Structure 1
């Protein structure tokens, strides 16, 4: 940030609907905020949560927390009591930075950004000389199993991730980056750093809108963007517009491009779409070069960028990764860290195969999670909340295929004696979950079962749940609104 403020000065850095900040503005405002945090007692190594919508205060808070020597804990604004309390308790956050509308919902020490920003005098903050391997973020992800875990991501991790994306895009001086995902996710954060590296503007939309995305791209002159999950399909479902190709977009980065729609995407909007595969744990693992036209429609996810090795496990076909960038581990979960990095490789939980050109393709997952659009849902977390309902004895969450969302969560529920397996009970369980979990985690379907087949370790054997002939008894099935 310091370098960008010196190098690019009054160039535009952050563009929000009602606000534009230069690189100098962002440096000065994050200095003021860092000073306020230090005055409140935040010290090096402390964890400070950030729970805001897509407002300028989010990237400014991130920069300020790091300038104060602390660690940022991004929190999804859609979290409710169960998932919010888990993240704040597990991370040991000393405070949460937020905006006025979210203050009543957050436990613990909470600072509204407007009042905090005005509480400290404008002064340069002496930035502690960070080691590149100091942790910058506790980035929560569902990982492979269990409740959300914090990936410990270093300053080096973030800078390398942004540089890989910049190299893949062949960043230019006249580029404009557009992002529509929530700032608590990875993508706006690495996009922020990409713009710091290149001295270009980042246009931040309040939220993703399928009808508004391309008009916004035209309005802002965007040349680069990143989409994932359901975003491409929702864009594709919009009626064709004579202005579809009237844009400056020169590259769309995307994770999980539908092979059968890939060429149609490019022809409709007049820009190449290229794969960027990775994870919170490992950053970018595979990239497709901007000029690799031969990959269009093939499903190829690319080759490893410099610093990364990617291989396939000989027995299972699982995609294994090592190199940099890479998280330093899961906070508070040494066993999960050891499991994820066994034999010196990060085990992605994704299956793949290599084509005759050396490109790796995705071939499914072996994780106990549901990927609903761009969201990762921990099955264990949802199951824990469902079983807290007085009518539920046991619950199992599994992914089911969906044309729009990719996967939707389906809950198999065994009821306690005395409760009826009908719509009223299902809606009671779902309402219970709605009060405690983010909306995207709520099951879209409920199926009541008499019991479950168990493994030798007395765990529910989920692999049978996808096969009706393997279930223990006839079930009552109820579809809910996704």
Structure 2
């Protein structure tokens, strides 16, 4: 394994890895005849990658780019994204990945907020980029087409500070999903990114990585911390290969996992029900996968997935601000309880109430974290870009406030409950939206669900479930009653939906995270919408729950 210390930078670390593992596979692309690039697949060795990265460095340096510059990449999930990032980081350039699914207004926001100097863009996305640039105010970056890169870069509009980064130099600015407002730009240093990879590669237990022998299949986007940092640097530091597909597609999953000889796979919660709902596949047990790493598996489906497909789903906790994830990698495990492991040296955790006072063992509270008392912010994000107030607010008291509600038992096992912003406060009871969502999502009629709080004049807030059905219902009211009874039979009466709304779609991000703030127009009272069903009269403490039914109304 390549050693990393507090003075390591991404460029010098990569070139050490390339020298040691020159003939080993570094990046791989599964075959896909329908894809616009590498239809028969591609395999890039460490030595070949190093040669390409050096050529890209020469081009960027010759055009005057270096420390202090920010270059955006709009290259989808192509492996060249990571090769360009390595070349840029080696010169001290900060990489700003752009989401290819963003609309022009969203692109304009990131270009402005990050004050981008240059964009490297695919020709197929150039028109979309320029529509965003037309809406941007502050930033009017230079642009070079990816396909024309070899012909020459437009010279930098301002002089670089140097071409020698250090461990604290910004390597990336990644934007949060913005589920509660405008996204924040997380500034990530060379030290942060390398530490994240080193941490993941050394967790051990069920998440043990060999050297120069693993193939990590990651279907997640490269503008996301998981694929571009967490798994990528884990692979690089141990001479392993990242298998980077263009996106998650259930119909291609097992074929790609089998053909790529993946030994580790990455997932999000949405992957699990989609794979479970598919017909048996010839490769669903005929594969090399030893374990999967991810977050968000619904408790009701966790064991079923492992038993059907033959490998453990190791749940993790991590976030863009702190990617040194806590992982449930040691035996005995608790499958289906939202457990995500125990604390190990390098990350300290407290569970606190609204006043930052530690709560008793077993009680729900916010998870706050730090590296250590001596160096609380070590290996965390550097800051929220141009938002010192938000940065310091998140670090109040010397601990980073995650916004996640968890519990810790007497053995130190941590269990995820919900995001703090997804807690519904009804008549003094805290209701985790995720708990209601997981139960509704498991019902055979339901394709997708989002649960959120809606105003209630008597009880402060009420539970609102927005549901996409698999099939159009013949009798919406009958289906609503079936879903209510399903919740009422399995949850405390107050957790069942007081309002239910059947909709054709629920907005999501490119990583399939539900965008709850986009379901209804700002300022709108959802209760007034046509089709909104009021189920509050059914919520009675002493009412006997109706047995869960398989509805025929769909």
Rounded Cα–Cα distance in structure 2 between residues aligned with 1:409 and 1:205: 33
The equivalent residue for 1:254 is 294
Task: Report whether the alignment pairs 1:282 with 2:282.
Answer: no
Q: Distance in 2 between matches of 1:73 and 1:478?
A: 41
Q: Does 1:23 align with 2:43?
A: no
Structure with the larger RCO, 1 or 2 (CA within 8 Å, 6+ apart)? 1
C-alpha distance in 2 between matches for 1:42 and 1:341: 33
Q: Secondary structure at the match of 1:310?
A: strand
What RMSD, in angstroms, separates the aligned Cα atoms of the two structures?
3.2
Match of 2:209 in 1: 171
SS at match of 2:407: strand
Q: Which residue pairs with 2:550 in the alignment?
A: none
Matched, 1:84 2:107: yes
Larger Rg: 2
Kindly state the Cα deviation for residue 276 of structure 1 after the two structures are TM-superposed: 1.3
Q: Choose from 10, 35, 41 the match for 2:23.
A: 10
Unaligned runs of 5+ in 2: 1-13, 32-37, 134-139, 154-161, 353-357, 372-377, 424-432, 442-446, 456-503, 534-554
1:442–1:36: structure 2 CA closer, same or farther, 3 Å change rule?
Answer: farther
Scaled by the length of structure 2, the TM-score of the pair is 0.67
Structure 2 residue 305 is matched with structure 1 residue 228: no
2:334 pairs with one of 276, 288, 295: 295
Equivalent pair of 2:92/2:170 in contact (CA under 8 Å)? no
The residue aligned with 1:328 is: 382
SS at match of 2:243: strand
Q: 1:310 to 1:442 in 2, by over 3 A?
A: closer
CA–CA distance in structure 2, aligned partners of residues 294 and 439 of structure 1: 26
Task: Name the SS for the 2:421 alignment partner.
Answer: coil
Q: 1:130 to 1:233 in 2, by over 3 A?
A: same
- C-alpha distance in 2, partners of 1:365/1:342? 19
**1:444-459 matches, cutoff 5 A:** 445-446=519-520
The equivalent residue for 1:317 is: 365
Deviations 1:138-192 (A, max 9, x none): 1111468431111111111111111222123211132111011111111211222
CA distance in 2, matches of 1:410, 1:297: 25
- Contact (CA 8 Å) 1:9, 1:24: kept in 2 or not? yes
TM superposition shift of 1:334: 0.8
The list of structure 1 runs, each at least 4 consecutive aligned residues, that deviate by more than 6 angstroms after superposition, is 408-412
Query: Corresponding residue for 1:96?
Result: 119
Question: How much does 1:365 deviate?
Answer: 1.8
Partner-residue secondary structure (3-state), 2:28: strand
Q: Paired residue for 1:138?
A: 173
Q: Cα gap change, 1:3/1:49 in structure 2, threshold over 3 Å: closer, same or farther?
A: same
Secondary structure of 2:82 counterpart: helix
SS in 2 for 1:212: helix
Q: Distance in 2 between matches of 1:182 and 1:411?
A: 32
State how 1:42-121 maps to structure 2 within 5 Å: 42-106=65-129, 107=133, 108=140, 109-119=142-152
> How far apart, in 2, do the equivalents of 1:70 and 1:266 lie?
42
**C-alpha contact 1:317 1:351 (8 A) present in aligned 2:** yes
Q: How many equivalent pairs are there?
A: 404
- TM-score, normalised with respect to structure 1: 0.76
Q: Matched residues in 2 for 1:405 and 1:154: separation?
A: 37
